[in-house]
Chain A
Amino acid sequence: GESVGLHLPTLSVQEGDNSIINCAYSNSASDYFIWYKQESGKGPQFIIDIRSNMDKRQGQRVTVLLNKTVKHLSLQIAATQPGDSAVYFCADPLGANNLFFGTGTRLTVIP
């Protein structure tokens, strides 16, 4: 069945270091992925997305890599800041009208 999962439930990084959050998916037909950030007490916030015709997409301090061969994607955050502390989800649209979210990875930035 469909699944979008994250390799680690928690990740702690030192402020200024780079963070890498991983996500595996099982549906070979999945062709679009979205990363969301959810801070405590708030709804998820769109960070970046990637389509399957791309291997890499860059935003401001964030990069998403997609490896279709092993059905894996990662979110890289450069120069991690305390404000990056949150739960990060990868999400996969199921059909046209809803998103399937993984469990999430809690990123803690150590000052």
Chain B
Amino acid sequence: DTGVSQDPRHKITKRGQNVTFRCDPISEHNRLYWYRQTLGQGPEFLTYFQNEAQLEKSRLLSDRFSAERPKGSFSTLEIQRTEQGDSAMYLCASSSASNYGYTFGSGTRLTVV
């Protein structure tokens, strides 16, 4: 296992298009998190899964955003009708049940033009 993998690394899309990102966590980690990071800021929490259940969502996660983790392994984050304000780095992290020492992926950098 080489850590948390995210795909794609970079995505450029036109405003109004839909985009989907994928995250493959560390296999033995049952917790998976999505964060968003804008330039010069720290990561901001978006949502959290324990196994396949989405247990917490931030107010940042508008109704244009949806995340899934159908089999409790990989997760997808979809943004519909993208806006320029969605441009950011989208980070995925995973952890075991009792560990806050998340392992982050390298992120997907989204640019909306």
**Which A residues fall within an 8 A CB radius of B?**
32, 34, 41-46, 49, 89, 91, 93-94, 97-104
Instruction: Determine whether the beta carbon of A101 is less than 8 Å from that of B44.
Output: yes
- In the assembled complex, the Cα of A49 lies from the Cα of B44 at a distance in Å of 19
Q: DSSP class of A's interface residues: helix, strand, loop or mixed?
A: strand
- In the assembled complex, the Cα of A41 lies from the Cα of B9 at a distance in Å of 10
Instruction: Determine whether the beta carbon of A98 is less than 8 Å from that of B48.
Output: yes
Neighbour of B101 across the interface among A46, A94, A103, CB < 8 A? A46
Q: Could you say which interface size class chain B belongs to?
A: 20 to 34
Is B70 positioned at the interface, with any CB of A under 8 Å from its CB? no
Q: How far is the CB of A10 from chain B (nearest CB, A)?
A: 11
Residue of B nearest to A41 (CB): B106
Q: How far is the CB of A50 from chain B (nearest CB, A)?
A: 11
Extra A-B contacts (11), CB below 8 Å, given A43-B4, A98-B45, A100-B45 = A41-B106, A43-B106, A44-B104, A46-B103, A97-B56, A98-B48, A98-B58, A101-B42, A102-B42, A103-B41, A103-B42
Set of chain A residues within 8 Å of B104, measured between Cβ atoms: 43-45
The B58-113 residues at the A interface (CB cut-off 8 A) are: 58, 91, 93, 100-107
